[in-house]
Amino acid sequence: MGSITLEQVCKSFGEVEVIPGVDLQIEDGEFVVFVGPSGCGKSTLLRLIAGLEDVTSGRIVIDGQDVTVAPPSRRKLAMVFQSYALYPHMSVRKNIAFPLKMAGLSADEQERRVQHAAGILNLTDYLDRRPGQLSGGQRQRVAIGRAIVREPSAFLFDEPLSNLDAALRVNMRVEISELHKKLATTMIYVTHDQVEAMTMADKIVVLRAGRIEQVGSPLELYRRPANRFVAGFIGSPNMNFLEGEAAARLGAHAIGVRPEHFRLSMSEGAFAGRVGVAEHLGSDTFLHVDLDDGTHVVARAEGEFPASHGDRIHLTPQDGRLYRFDQNGSAL
């Protein structure tokens, strides 16, 4: 079991209020991703749940138990850190067994669980090595191994993939998702990478300046962003925003169109402009277009699209794929 409830959780560092008051319900077995730009308080929120920081006010409940003032060791949570935070003086085996040793398990039981975790994570051949002798991906797996042997009620991941190179990141992303399917344990995952958020999450929590901007499934956020911030943050490349006359015509302060929701034409369309940079990836073509009113937009065409630098191009938003925002940025 691993349901987690946050009630009006606040955190201040001295005079500075980092988290002004967060309410959040995380269901048992859910994969929840906290996403937002750096400094939005997502890591702080995770550390509050872990018990590594004390809340200034509010309540944290795990499995119906109030753990607001409980030390980290009493919360039955496991955490994977960005820097892996392995114990450099211990072998992989001892690293993984450390939480078991602290829990006072017998040596046989420790070894059994270490072998089991090592099997799941392909670490069996490396058990006698030190962390310093492992690659980044292997270290990350050891950190995950150390987390899973405890059979915690929830896993906390603090940007676990940001120290890995791009190819490895994709692999580990899949591995963590598979692990979640296998273990069916609650996971809270912090990242600033919205692709990780979209691909892994059951539920995404978008944060800005310590406040929750929106909570929902990846596609809910993609299809119905609550405001301009979420609209701009979710989706890659970012949503294009147009203000002024074009927006006013639709009765909005700003309108938003995702790059993949433009129809492209060389001859006619709603907006006209000139191609600045054309990125031909084969599977997609990304065009960076300077519209006649000076706005810079990005449009995506599927497959190969015959446009290059300097070409004149026309863009039309697809029906029903246009978002309208008021003065405050809220969706209309």
Partner 1 sequence: MARNISQSRRWGFTILAWGAALVIFFPILWTILTSFKTEADAIASPPKFLFFDWTVENYAEVQSRSPYFRHFMNSVIISVGSTLLGLVLAIPAAWSMAFQPGRRTKDLLMWMLSTKMMPAAGVLIPMYLMFRSFGLLDSRLGITVVLMLINLPIIVWMLYTYFREIPSEILEAARMDGASLRNEILHVLTPMAVPGIASTLLLNVILAWNEAFWTLNLTTSKAAPLTTFIASYSSPEGLFYAKLSAASTMAIAPILILGWFSQKQLVRGLTFGAVK
Alpha-carbon distance of 108 to 322, in angstroms, equals: 61
Return the range that interacts with partner 1 (CB under 8 A); candidates 82-90, 106-114, 167-175, 178-186. 82-90
Are 32 and 188 in contact by the 8 Å Cβ rule? The answer is yes
Residue 94 backbone class (left: φ over 0; alpha: ψ -120 to 50; beta: rest): alpha
Interface with partner 1 (CB under 8 A), residue from 15, 38, 88, 328 = 88
Q: Give the orientation angle of helix 92-102 with respect to helix 107-120, to 10 degrees.
A: 130
Give whichever of 43 and 240 is closer to partner 1, judged by the CB atom: 43
Given the rule CB under 8 A, which of 25-33, 56-64, 71-79, 321-329 is the region that contacts partner 1? 71-79
Instruction: Name the residue nearer to partner 1 (CB basis): 99 or 218.
Output: 99
Work out how close the CB of 99 gets to partner 1 at its nearest, in angstroms, rounded to a whole number: 4
Of the two residues 40 and 80, which places its CB atom closer to partner 1 in the complex? Answer: 80
Residue 282 binding partner 1, by CB under 8 A:
no
Regarding 183 and contact with partner 1 (CB under 8 A), the answer is no
Residue partners of 39: CB distance under 8 A and separation at least 6: none
Angle between helices 166-183 and 136-148 (to 10 degrees): 20
Nearest to 255 by CA among 232, 283, 288: 232
Could you give the CA distance from residue 56 to residue 46 in angstroms, rounded to a whole number? 14
Under the criterion CB under 8 A, does residue 52 sit at the interface with partner 1?
yes
Q: How many helices (H) and strands (E) does the chain have?
A: 9, 18
Beta carbon nearer to partner 1, 57 or 73: 73
Based on the shown chain and the rule CB under 8 A, indicate whether residue 132 belongs to the binding site for partner 1: no
Which range, of 35-43, 55-63, 69-77, 263-271, touches partner 1 by CB under 8 A? 69-77
Instruction: List interacting residues with partner 1 (CB under 8 A).
Output: 50-52, 71-73, 77-79, 81-83, 85-89, 98-99, 102-103, 146, 150
